[in-house]
Structure 1
């Protein structure tokens, strides 16, 4: 029954795909391919799989393949663009995304699953739309964005509140990208960095989706995202998955989803403060998706696992053939009368008088 529900929801969501997933960077051990759509509620499975954890749903999406389980990404960087369907990025691999839950639900599921297995992971979520005053001393250190020259803007204007707020978000993204080399350190623990941009939608509403100002805003956004992606890629030597996805929560409010519980948002400083009681009282079938499962969890292997495995493997092989050669040599040895083998095996053992 649950499988039928999933298939029905997926079929409806494929037709009404209202989002986009873009993989801006991925190491060779993780491969993304095809153009199959996926639900945002499945992203928690995809993100935890690429970090080396066992998914709670079996093969939720065919677009990702783990090619080397011993060289998995060391970090996941997720950039969420709220309120839009696409950012028209010229980079990365694009997949249709069916938005069926708000981004914070996805973030909480990913962070919770990592915390269940290890409490030493770096988990950072920043809403750049809160502004520098709200962020204060962020998890990435003190941020000092550069000012923008109004003359550098062709169609956007700092005199418009919507344009100014959007430009401030982009400058914060660039400031974060500049801060990464001095604050982020790669280690054997999988890290998650989550950034939320919400200022693009007001710009599009003000100027129009097809206006020159919107086109300029999209270009500036993609440039800032590329700076952020390149900074994380450099610090992790390419062993990082950088994913961007769009999320229009306004459409989600008017759409019922069979996979995800209903969620209500309270607008307070742009943050999602409380969730509907249905998120805690979902049906038994849905709880099997969200409820933490302690069975069939994969073991987290360290970077030294291949080395130790090869040591034991080749030592065992050499030891086996060495023992086999010794046994063959002893079996073919001539038991002379002066040999201890003759003395111990002769039926007429001589005794000293």
Structure 2
């Protein structure tokens, strides 16, 4: 039992260290400042980005990582998001503001963001065929080569490797045609997935994929710096995804489950076990004491007999 408790506590400790993903701000306009290293609830990612574009959000955001320095310039801001599913962390430049987030609602939060924006190009490569179609509708018919060079990824053997390299090639091509979508208050989202990549040998293809993503994002950053200084470029990596539907404008921030904070508390397993075993020991002790008292022989030599006996003073002494 105690070994099980140690395993649970260790697992929770590892989860706290790594979180559920990273929210990295690669580029930001001068009107917005990102500071600190506070954790962010994944369900608030969409609200943070909405506020960065000058939109109103429902309720307040319990996060102090973003400061709006010039609210009148927010309407000029464009948003680009690179979201990668299936990995906790992706490499970023040294001057990047990176925040761990907790929860598996990052994708649902991005869906909510898209639903609230008037113009959002959501290119979801998780479904490769659908994502390519969405890309072509934004940038027109193109013939982008796959990303090179490669060592561990095997596009001639695995379709998943080939599709991934094609997707990076499309993003690299898009970085040269950003003027088609980079307009004030517009958003461009690229969604990738490392879940489907065959990990042979071991995790070498994943490590190579991470390096290729970093190079592609760096190329995108260089292209943005040359063209526009009012772009917010964000990279999101999340290991797990939620199957919940996207949130709508009718959600209420005040409706919070009162047990949610208790369950997320790292000390909850310890407190629960203490309460359980103490209650069990108390019940057993009371039961044994009651049984012992009930089965005592109330003889004349018993203390109970002497205390509870009533003397009859009506009888005369003979």
Question: Fold conserved (TM > 0.5)?
Answer: yes
1:110 maps to 113
Is 1:77 aligned to residue 90 of structure 2?
no
Aligned partners of 1:146 and 1:83: how far apart in 2? 24
Aligned partners of 2:146 and 2:112: how far apart in 1? 36
1:146 maps to 145
- Once the 2 structures are TM-superposed, how far is the Cα of residue 185 of structure 1 from its aligned partner? 5.1
Q: How many aligned residue pairs are there?
A: 237
* Shift in CA distance, 134/109, structure 1 to aligned 2, threshold 3 Å: closer
Match of 1:41 among 37, 40, 43: 43
1:244 maps to 235
Mark the runs of 5 or more structure 2 residues left unpaired by the alignment.
1-13, 256-318
Equivalences for residues 156-235 of structure 1 within 5 A? 156-161=153-158, 162-181=160-179, 183-184=180-181, 186=183, 189-198=184-193, 200-203=194-197, 205-209=199-203, 211=204, 213-235=205-227
- Once the 2 structures are TM-superposed, how far is the Cα of residue 159 of structure 1 from its aligned partner? 2.7
Deviations 1:163-214 (A, max 9, x none): 2222112112112212324x2353xx4111111011x2333744434x3x33
Equivalences for residues 329-348 of structure 1 within 5 A? none
Contact 1:163 / 1:203 at 8 angstroms: preserved in 2?
Answer: yes
Aligned partners of 1:89 and 1:129: how far apart in 2? 22
Deviations 1:327-353 (A, max 9, x none): xxxxxxxxxxxxxxxxxxxxxxxxxxx
* Shift in CA distance, 112/130, structure 1 to aligned 2, threshold 3 Å: closer
1:303 maps to none
- Write out the 4+ residue segments of structure 1 that deviate beyond 4 Å after TM superposition: 12-16
Aligned partners of 1:48 and 1:54: how far apart in 2? 7
- What is the TM-score when the length of structure 1 is the normalising length? 0.59
1:51 maps to 53
1:155 maps to 152
Contact 1:122 / 1:191 at 8 angstroms: preserved in 2?
Answer: yes
Mark the runs of 5 or more structure 1 residues left unpaired by the alignment.
1-11, 115-120, 254-262, 264-274, 281-285, 292-353
* Pair member with larger Rg: 2
- What is the TM-score when the length of structure 2 is the normalising length? 0.65
CA RMSD of aligned residues (A): 3.1
Deviations 1:123-161 (A, max 9, x none): 110013444686333223223212456xx3223222331
Equivalences for residues 278-293 of structure 1 within 5 A? 287-289=251-253
